[in-house]
Amino acid sequence: MALHTDKISVETSETSKIDTVDFNNLDFGRVFTDHMFVCDYEDGKWQNPKVMPYQAMTFDPSARVFHYGQAVFEGMKAYKDDEGKVFLFRPKLNFERINKSSARLAMPAFPEDYFFEGLEILLKLDNDWIKPGVGNSLYLRPFVIATEPAISASPANSYRFMIICSPAKSYYNSAVRVLIADHYSRSANGGVGAAKAAGNYAAQFYPTSLALERGFQQVVWTDADSHTLLEEAGTMNVFFRVNDKLITAPTSDRILDGVTRKSIIQLAEDLGITCDVRPVSVAEIKEAAKDGSLKEIFGAGTAAVISPISAFQHQDELFEISGVDAVDSYAKLFKQALLNIQHNLSDDKHGWRYEVK
Ligand code: COI
């Protein structure tokens, strides 16, 4: 059992960049706070954990991450209520998932105490970067990369775990139009689709850029075998509302087990809305769009929160979804319910809020 007994050392930044930031005009993920958390894995154990000023780092060009993509990450958010209390949302799920992702890429598990203590120190130092008010959050990006300078194709012996933080508003500024994949695939049976592996995102960039050229911001991925089952949108899991029922695909080794997805399924149960978790076919959603029973499609993810989808294209058929702006849309209902819990504005009957004291 690897020991991890080092205390987290703290070096604070002498100056702050905060006054240079326009918090009302934030482009997702471009501005970072004053501090970051860093911990290295060497000689079979995680060691030398430290919170330090945010800065560029130097890596050997042969570091394995650059050659074999041994890299995983998480997406989390910190929220502040009107009294200045700071909360995370179900952070244990992110902690568990990063280690699951690491295991799939033959990377070592990160210790829970370092994960939470590092986060808490960081959030205390960068507290002013967390703005109160629904719609504001501090996006937290834990990640692990293989740092060993060696290019034989095998798992590294050294790694770096880091957390960086970026103030965030919305990821998508308006409803998203999506293209349903019928050629490219995001993941395969037995592959790494369920892991938050950096390469899963890189693999989407080219097909997504082709979709963008056609006016679609995201691809909704389908199963790699037949392209007949709807899976996820890469930055979001996807929900379909047919009449008053929700449908979403089950997680598998091809689909990310999203924290927001899981929370919506629970909220639906709380609200008495049926949510079927089962394979969803492209054919049934097209059929529902044609007969008028498809009321909504929305994506769900930490960065995206809940993003309505206003249109989808499959092969040569385009479907516009009319209910996107309806005041009683499920997307609005679930988004509000989630934000209220996250910002300490409503009861938290499932204990999802985690106060950072
Ligand atoms: C998140 O929602 O946190 C994600 O990791 C998606 C990312 C591509 C922005």
Which of 219, 235, 237 most suits a substitution to test ligand 1, by most atoms within 8 Å of the C-beta?
Answer: 235
* CATH class of the structural domain 9-169: alpha beta
Give long-range contacts, CB 8 A cutoff, 24+ apart: 60-64. 60/147, 60/149, 61/149, 62/149, 62/150, 62/151, 63/145, 63/146, 63/147, 63/148, 63/149, 63/156, 64/146, 64/147, 64/148, 64/150, 64/151, 64/155, 64/156
Atom of ligand 1 nearest to the CA of 76: 3
DSSP 62-109: TBHHHHH--EEE--EEEEE-TT--EEEESHHHHHHHHHHHHHHTT-PP
Residue ID of nearest Cα to ligand 1 atom 9:
303
Ligand 1 center to 306 CA (angstroms): 12
Domain ranges of the chain: 9-169, 176-343
Per-residue pLDDT averaged across 74-100, rounded? 98
Q: Residue 4: its pLDDT value, please?
A: 58
Query: How large is the average pLDDT for residues 221-234?
Result: 96
Q: What is the pLDDT of residue 3?
A: 45
Domains 9-169 and 176-343 share a fold: no
| Atom in ligand 1 nearest the alpha carbon of residue 303 | 2
Beta bridge pairs of residue 318: 313
What spacing in Å lies between the alpha carbon of 301 and ligand 1's midpoint?
Answer: 7
Query: From the CB of 237, is ligand 1 less than 6 Å away?
Result: no
Give yes or no for residue 182 having a pLDDT over 50: yes
The per-residue pLDDT for range 119-169, each reduced to its tens digit, is 999 999 999 999 999 999 999 999 999 999 999 999 999 999 999 999 999
Q: Which two tokens stand for residue 101?
A: 């992702």
- The CATH number fitting domain 176-343, selected from 1.10.1200.10, 3.30.2350.10, 3.20.10.10, 3.40.50.300: 3.20.10.10
Q: What is the pLDDT of residue 5?
A: 61
The chain-wide mean pLDDT, for the chain, equals 96
Tens of pLDDT, residues 37-83 = 999 999 999 999 999 999 999 999 999 999 999 999 999 999 999 99
Judge if pTM exceeds 0.85: yes
Portion of the chain with pLDDT greater than 90, in percent: 94
Ligand 1 centre and the CA of 43: distance in Å? 31
Q: What percent of the chain has pLDDT over 70?
A: 99
Question: How far is CA 60 from its chain centroid?
Answer: 29
Q: Which residue's CA is minimally distant from atom 6 of ligand 1?
A: 235
How many whole angstroms separate alpha carbon 172 and alpha carbon 187? 24
How many angstroms separate the CA atoms of 328 and 341, rounded? 19
CB of 329 within 6 A of ligand 1: the answer is: no
pLDDT tens for residues 197-216? 999 999 999 999 999 999 99
